[in-house]
Structure 1
Amino acid sequence: MSNKPSLHTSLSPALLHLYDLSNSVVVIIDVFRATSTIASALFNGAKSVIPVDSVPKAIEISKQIDGIAAGERDGKLAEGLSYGNSPLEYDRGFIENKILVLTTTNGTRLLHMALDKNADTVVTGSFPNLSAVCNFLVAEKKNVILGCSGWKDRFNLEDTLFAGAVIHQVKKHFEIHCDSSLMAEAMYAKHKNNLLGFASKMTHYHRLVERFGLIDDIAFCLTPDVANVLPYYKDGKLIIGGQNL
């Protein structure tokens, strides 16, 4: 009998209720682009990122704390907000020592779902902070749920691809009896040497690149370890893991 912790992959927010989050580390994955943006902002010195599930709430909270209200709906800047969901917007000169209040179509919603289902520990992951996520999961020695944000409850490739990248690195430390995890890793193993080429087939790629020309965003979101910090949820906000925990 193995005493390794288990690892499962939830391919969509609509499937999250099938998993026991209560004694697990839940990794919120929204590669294009919420969790890439969160990593970028914290890496570049943001004090914290407050994830909220609505635009009015983002505006209200940011006014109260003199923060930066930001986010998107359906891939474009949300009405009423000045800043969007691009990881490239949040360079050090702009975001250092500020608080980002972020709302997005899929990622921030999934994070709140995980909290509502009594997730024990919540972190966010994307390729820019791949190693930080993997190192944390191995060190914690707890069950893991890789939660893919998908697109409006539908499956998407990029979040599953990142789940596969995590599994590829950490699998020897976990018991994995989960077909979605096996599929995710097989997909990553096949495409790991040309992530951008594979991404060019994805529906979300076309949504972001053909409509909005965001090829630089996509490239950043698929580059491992360019913002290698661990966004860790504590007391209503995401901070860098290892700080003030």
Structure 2
Amino acid sequence: MSDSVLPRLEICLSPALLHLFDTRDTIVVIIDVFRATSTIAAALHNGAKSVIPVASVPECIEIGKRTENSITAGERDGKIAEGLQHGNSPLEYPSTFVEGKTLVLTTTNGTRLLHMVEDAAEIITGSFLNLSAVCDFLIAQKKNVLLGCAAWKDRFNLEDTLFAGAVATKVADHFATNCDSVRAAKYLHESAVAKGNYIDFLRDSSHYKRLSAYGLEHDMEYCTTPDQHPVVPILKGDKLVIHQ
């Protein structure tokens, strides 16, 4: 199939660049590898009823108060935000804890980007933990795709771009990708694969160093392990649920 009839795939490297992209009739994939979209995949795969992504801590607390059987969770600058019950680690939400509950989640970067997107055909979340499931979903939908990197406070980061490069590489035959951010992300992914594994490639990244200061190395190793939670979280109304 020629590029002229293939759906388009682009990568937005930072929320600050989102206004440059047309998201109409487009599937937008929110990417926050360290750690929001990893936590979302883990919680839903482990039986959470839904995840409600919110932009602010006060909103998270308020929604938690009026939502039955809920958990309020999230972080600011890598630490559990004051007033919330739990943090932003996928390892905090095993099935024994999260099954049947609603996770109300706010994070520094990922949930903020999700609320910035308007007029998309669908919004899903992606991480290495659900890499193949996300790729299979995108191929099946046959629609334009924007991979949206949450970045770090609008600054480019390696881990989200690396995941976007992994997706772009896996779905390359099914999309037209005349976009230099896609090329750059794929080159980055090639470099990581050549190094041996994703986490070794990311150990010198700013976010790895930032979160390591809080003892979260094991979290990050887990977040870069592909296909541990093969679900596609999709936004329905104000809630993320598993795509059926």
**How does 1:67-82 map onto structure 2 within 5 Å?**
67-82=70-85
Percentage of identical aligned residues: 60
Tell me the distance in 1 between the aligned counterparts of 2:19 and 2:130. Answer: 26
| Residue matched to 1:195 | 198
Q: How many angstroms does 1:43 deviate by?
A: 0.7
Tell me the distance in 1 between the aligned counterparts of 2:241 and 2:85. Answer: 23
Tell me the distance in 2 between the aligned counterparts of 1:72 and 1:113. Answer: 19
Tell me the distance in 2 between the aligned counterparts of 1:215 and 1:75. Answer: 12
Q: Deviation digits for residues 87-122 of structure 1, max 9, x if unmatched?
A: 1000110000000000000000000001xx211210
Find the partner of 2:104 among 91, 101, 104: 101
Tell me the distance in 1 between the aligned counterparts of 2:109 and 2:139. Answer: 27
Q: Deviation digits for residues 147-192 of structure 1, max 9, x if unmatched?
A: 0000000100000000000011001100000000011011101212
Q: Deviation digits for residues 50-83 of structure 1, max 9, x if unmatched?
A: 0000111111111111311100001100010110
| Residue matched to 1:90 | 93
Tell me the distance in 2 between the aligned counterparts of 1:119 and 1:197. Answer: 34
| Residue matched to 1:62 | 64
Q: Could you tell me which amino acid in structure 1 is paired with residue 34 of structure 2? A: F
Q: How many angstroms does 1:215 deviate by?
A: 1.0
* Residue 127, structure 1, aligned to residue 133, structure 2: no
TM-score of the superposed pair, with normalisation by structure 2: 0.97
| Residue matched to 1:138 | 139
Find the partner of 2:14 among 12, 29, 48: 12
Q: Could you tell me which amino acid in structure 2 is paired with residue 144 of structure 1? A: V
Q: Deviation digits for residues 170-220 of structure 1, max 9, x if unmatched?
A: 0110000000001101110121232111110100000111x1111110011
* Residue 235, structure 1, aligned to residue 198, structure 2: no
Q: Helix, strand or coil: the match of 2:11?
A: strand
Q: Helix, strand or coil: the match of 1:83?
A: coil
Q: How many angstroms does 1:3 deviate by?
A: 0.6
After superposing on structure 2, the runs of 4+ consecutive aligned residues of structure 1 that deviate more than 2 Å are: none
CA RMSD after TM alignment: 0.8
Q: Deviation digits for residues 2-45 of structure 1, max 9, x if unmatched?
A: 21000000000000110000110000000000000000000100
Deviates more, 1:193-202 or 1:179-188: 193-202
| Residue matched to 2:115 | 112
| Residue matched to 2:50 | 48
Structure 2 unaligned blocks of 5 or more: none
Q: Could you tell me which amino acid in structure 2 is paired with residue 130 of structure 1? A: L
Q: Could you tell me which amino acid in structure 1 is paired with residue 153 of structure 2? A: K
How many residues are paired up?
239
Tell me the distance in 2 between the aligned counterparts of 1:196 and 1:53. Answer: 28
Q: How many angstroms does 1:140 deviate by?
A: 0.3
Q: Could you tell me which amino acid in structure 1 is paired with residue 100 of structure 2? A: N
Q: Helix, strand or coil: the match of 2:171?
A: helix
Q: Deviation digits for residues 212-240 of structure 1, max 9, x if unmatched?
A: 11111001110000011100000110000
Find the partner of 1:36 among 23, 35, 38: 38
